[in-house]
Amino acid sequence: MAYILKIKGTGKIPDFVQIRDKDMTLRAYFRLDQQKSGIKKSNLEEYTSLIMTVLETIPFGKLKNIDIIL
């Protein structure tokens, strides 16, 4: 189990994504407009479609539970 959070940027700061494990330890942090490369760098390629689908549906600032093993 893991958590995903979409963070809204302001002005010059872009939108970001955080993926945290069940203990809320930060496991991935990448720009929203660079999802594929951020997922690849975080070694989460097997969950790419799930993560991208969740990011399309969740609002900014809300935690979402996702079923992946970190």
Confidence (pTM): 0.88
* pLDDT at residue number 53: 93
**CA pair distance 57, 9, nearest whole angstrom:** 18
pLDDT tens digits, one per residue of 17-70: 999 999 999 999 999 999 999 999 999 999 999 999 999 999 999 999 998 887
Residues 8-21 have a mean pLDDT of 93
Q: Provide the pLDDT for residue 34.
A: 93
Residues 11-39: b if buried by 16+ CB within 10 A, e if exposed: eeeeebbbbbeeeeeebbebebeebeebb
For position 50, what pLDDT does the model report?
93
Instruction: Give the Cβ contact number of residue 51 at 10 Å.
Output: 23
